[in-house]
Amino acid sequence: MSNHSLLGILSCLTCLFLSACQEKTLNGDLFPQTENMTWHYNASFRAGRVYSHHKMVITNKNTEFEGEKVISHQFHNGDIAYYGKNENGVFRIAFYSSSDGLVKDPDDHFLIHFPLAAGTKWKIRSKPFFLEQSVRKINSGQASLSADLKINPLFMEYKISAVNEKITVSAGKYSHCVRITGTGETTANGPEIGSTKISVVQTDWYAPGVGLIKSERQEVTDLDWAKSSTYTMELDKIY
């Protein structure tokens, strides 16, 4: 599930470390680029009645990718995501994982698209992440989908749904948050599942000067035994 690390966002003015009962009203970029800025997330995965939880730590590094200066997110498990930013928005360039190696993204793989205004829309090519993991979780690791499984391309339509929300997470309360919502549908075919439809909804919240503070992704199929999978990550602390 290397690609779901769908995450991270970076350039920071100054992070205000206030107690959880205080409201954090921050000025700054939604994509902080401060060297060594580190995010700690609580992440959870639910498939049917099965629930798992883990910690995720991401550290920001300013680095080079193919001769260009870029922003990278270094994950605690060794994964690396490379990001760029231009007049059109913030986009992912490539993702490295030990399982898949380095995989480049299309030029238009935007996480945040400008202008930062409610109603701004864009599309990216993605893929469902959780169908096979759902099978493994539900069957206690005893079964997985065969190599004959074919998942058709998933095109997600994203839009900026709100630009001034107040969001509370484990790390505290944040104002002036941007909420981005994505939806898409595709189909998968295989011996174990026949032909099944997969519907995906993802919602991400970004706070100025902080970046991604919360993400929720739900993937729903029409299979009775793998009806719904949900992945959630929430900022726990930042420094």
Place 5 in a pLDDT band, splitting at 50, 70 and 90. very low
Higher pLDDT, 224 or 13: 224
**Domain, as residue range, for 181:** 2-238
Place 193 in a pLDDT band, splitting at 50, 70 and 90. confident
Q: Give the pairing of strands 89-97 and 110-113.
A: antiparallel
Mean of pLDDT values over 130-137: 79
Q: How far is CA 158 from the centre of its chain?
A: 13
Helices (H) then strands (E): counts for the chain: 1, 15
Place 142 in a pLDDT band, splitting at 50, 70 and 90. low
Question: What are the tens digits of pLDDT across the range 54-76?
Answer: 999 999 999 999 999 999 999 99
Interacting residues of 139 by C-beta distance below 8 A, sequence separation 6+ = none
Rounded CA separation 172/60 (Å): 21
pTM (whole model) above 0.75: yes
Closest to 209 (Cα-Cα) out of 21, 22, 33, 7: 33
Domain count, the chain: 1
Q: Which two tokens stand for residue 141?
A: 């690791």
Q: Give the pairing of strands 154-169 and 194-207.
A: unpaired
